[in-house]
Amino acid sequence: MATLATNLGFPRMGARRELKRSLESYWAGEISAGQLESTAAGLRERHWRLQADLGIDHIPSGDFSLYDHVLDTAVLVGAVPDRYRAADDPHERYFAMARGGTVDGRGVTALEMTKWFDTNYHYLVPELGAGQRFSLSSTKPLDDFRQALSLGITTRPVLLGPVSFLMLSKFTGTGGTVLDLADGLVAVYAELLAELAAAGVSWVQLDEPVLVLDLGADERRAIDRAYRTLREAAPSLRLLVATYFAGLGANLPTALGLPVDALHLDAVSDPGQVDAAATEAPESLALSVGVVDGRNVWRTDLAAALDRLEPLRRTVGADRLLVGPSGSLLHLPVDLHLESTVDPEVRSWLAFATQRLEEIGLLVRGLNDGRDAIAEPLNVASTACAARASSPRVHDPAVAERLAAHHPSLEQRPSPFAVRRDVQRAHLSLPVLPTTTIGSFPQTADVRAARARHRRGDVDDGAYTEQLRRYVDDAMSFQEDVGLDVLVHGEPERNDMVEYFGELLDGCVVTEQGWVQSYGSRCVKPPIIYGDVHRPRPMTVDWATYAQSRTARPVKGMLTGPITILAWSFVRNDQPLEVTARQVGFAVRDEVADLEAAGIGVIQIDEPALRELLPLHDADRKAYLAWAVGAFRLASSGVRDETQIHTHMCYAEFNDIIEAIAAFDADVISIEASRSRMELLSAFVDFDYPNEIGPGVWDVHSPRVPTTEEMVGLLDAALNVLPADRLWVNPDCGLKTRRWEEVRPALANMVAAARQVRARLDAP
């Protein structure tokens, strides 16, 4: 018997973001639902054929989604909140849940959105009430399997496991927990598995990533009970439970005891768990081992991987071993072969999703046929890895010297917040409930076209700068006219809040087609941090000072913080993250100093990814938060008392990091709060957060324009828990992805809402 090659999931957008373009054309009314589905079917076929051609034995189906796989699961099991049920068209209902909109003539808000474990992927949070009824309401898993089968490709359907679905959902009932709903949900899964078996499916992959969290006894019992029920419902199916993002830790015995046929382990994040599993696993259980990194882009040392796999194969047996990526390849760009401008030396160190499949195929061939069968690619990989380790471009002595001279005093503001607050109020002269935005304004087609022409060399620097200055002029005039109190320049020069800085910092490269899905049709191109990070010159000062020259009102300098730059980049894996974070912190600190020296009195350092990098195991969190807070304070603390430091965070649960957020000591924090109707503020109240807060009153990830009355209602909800003199008024997030036709009325409504509430506060 042979060892098999497996994959857990593949990027959805397409190598050239075909799905993104099709989705946005559908939302704009330019194509039909049938045309959208045709694009989706074509992408699925292309991805299945690619995997088959590269020798993957277990090819996933059902991992493709038009928006989000958790949303797909909610629809699959009939967990559709009442406000969407009036939509007769399934596409209308699906996208209303994802984006909000109008259903049966009524405006509806979207489901809440939050980060998928410790990644930059966002999922839609299902809403489940007490007594929730589930029903099998979609044929998507069957449809995808049958499409692949019609092409001559037998796939392994992928489902989000029932317990992970429950634990990732929002329980809206009173009393009880989501686990009380397990029996009803598992019954629907059992029905689906029976249908899959009847359709000729041999293997089913059930993703249970919650198994890598710190679970209690009730949660472990729920998982065990669920899988015993599923085993009985579909005895002919072979079930693989997939875990990823961390080691199983104390949950390993539970996972090994499940009545399933295979267990997938992430051997990149926790190599040691594989040896323990190999020793303790029952002989009936196969092990699927993720030895190539599904989340980072550094080429696998194939010889080192074989050094780990060969003894494992002898221990468990060839036919009980599957080799694959650490997790789904959703989090990687599609194909390195599309890159022509990445520095050739750095390019030789990289592997994207397609190259990960090639690596898996080579490893399995090496295991089955011997290393001589893959001698040439083994040598190429070893040479590339050795070259990266010894390259002088990776290490900068000046950066190392600066880090060695670091002193804790660099992480302290001159005065406590209570003192700074009075100084800033006198300096800025802002009203109660001051209004601002998060930073970016719409990136119009003209702006994107100008950037592309400039990149190609068709437009010189002077003409390009002049065009963008006209955009800034218009943005400043609009903000003054609408009545905002603290203005922004709109960031027309920036392609992305992290990629922009990756282009300007030494030690980083950016790609042409390295797109990764963040949510829905939103894609980002993470920079690749390959070496020591240094800021060779100012990055934002010219734009901030130009904007400030156009108005007497305060203008915010806009920066991305060190933790978010790390989280939204592909970071070098040859040194601790803490070291790289401090390097980036120094680079941002230098930019902050230059902004202040240029007369910018309000500086925002965005850190939406603080929660995202939080380790999944409690035991590791204290150390992470200590160095993450230190990196932010290093970046932000070298300013005078009158300089107001803002930060922004979005789409995260704050309860378990609230003390760290307070330790940031930012003068103002803005957060996403509109989708939860200000529920997220409870964390800041229970902790008695001491500084100022801007809870978002406009969900910018939805195309809806909220009314003034809606925003007044949200401000009233915020005032129920926080005093007016600590509140700011702002959208949830930046406005880059919105259209001016939405931004102008929404911001006018926001300012009107703030003025209404101010007037009421001033009344006797």
How much is the pLDDT for 556? 97
Quote the DSSP letter at residue 299. P
How much is the pLDDT for 678? 79
How much is the pLDDT for 651? 58
130 versus 354: the higher-pLDDT residue is 354
Lowest mean pLDDT: which of 323-332, 438-447, 746-755?
438-447
Residue-wise pLDDT tens digits, 314-360: 999 999 999 999 999 999 999 999 999 999 999 999 999 999 999 99
Q: Which residues contact 466 (CB under 8 A, 6 or more apart)?
A: none
- 648 carries an active-site annotation: no
Query: Would you place residue 105 in the very low, low, confident or very high pLDDT band (cuts 50, 70, 90)?
Result: confident
Q: Pick the catalytic residue: 47, 489, 646, 701? A: 701
Q: Which residues contact 284 (CB under 8 A, 6 or more apart)?
A: 261
Q: Is the pLDDT of residue 78 over 80?
A: yes
Residue-wise pLDDT tens digits, 504-553: 999 999 999 999 999 999 999 999 999 999 999 999 999 999 999 999 99
Query: Would you place residue 652 in the very low, low, confident or very high pLDDT band (cuts 50, 70, 90)?
Result: low
Q: Is the pLDDT of residue 169 over 90?
A: yes
**How many other CB atoms sit within 10 Å of the CB of residue 554?**
19
Two structure tokens written together for 441: 């304004």
Lowest mean pLDDT: which of 102-111, 316-325, 412-421, 630-639?
102-111
Q: Is the pLDDT of residue 270 over 90?
A: yes
Q: Domain 401-441+477-505+539-559+576-762 - what CATH class?
A: alpha beta
Domain ranges of the chain: 4-80+126-332, 401-441+477-505+539-559+576-762
How much is the pLDDT for 147? 98
> What is the fold, at CATH topology level, of the domain defined by 4-80+126-332?
TIM Barrel (3.20.20)
> How large is the average pLDDT for residues 562-591?
97
Lowest mean pLDDT: which of 140-144, 567-571, 732-736?
732-736
How much is the pLDDT for 673? 80
Closest to 675 in 3D by CA, of 86, 67, 83, 164:
83
Two structure tokens written together for 43: 């992408």
Residue-wise pLDDT tens digits, 189-203: 999 999 999 999 999
Query: Would you place residue 654 in the very low, low, confident or very high pLDDT band (cuts 50, 70, 90)?
Result: confident
Q: Is the pLDDT of residue 764 over 60?
A: no
What average pLDDT is seen over the chain?
95
> How large is the average pLDDT for residues 219-230?
97
Query: Would you place residue 455 in the very low, low, confident or very high pLDDT band (cuts 50, 70, 90)?
Result: confident
CA angle centred on 320, ends 196 and 1, rounded to 5°: 95
Helix, strand, coil content of the chain in percent (nearest 5): 50, 15, 35
The rounded distance, in Å, linking the Cα atoms of 733 and 742 is 14
> How large is the average pLDDT for residues 137-152?
98
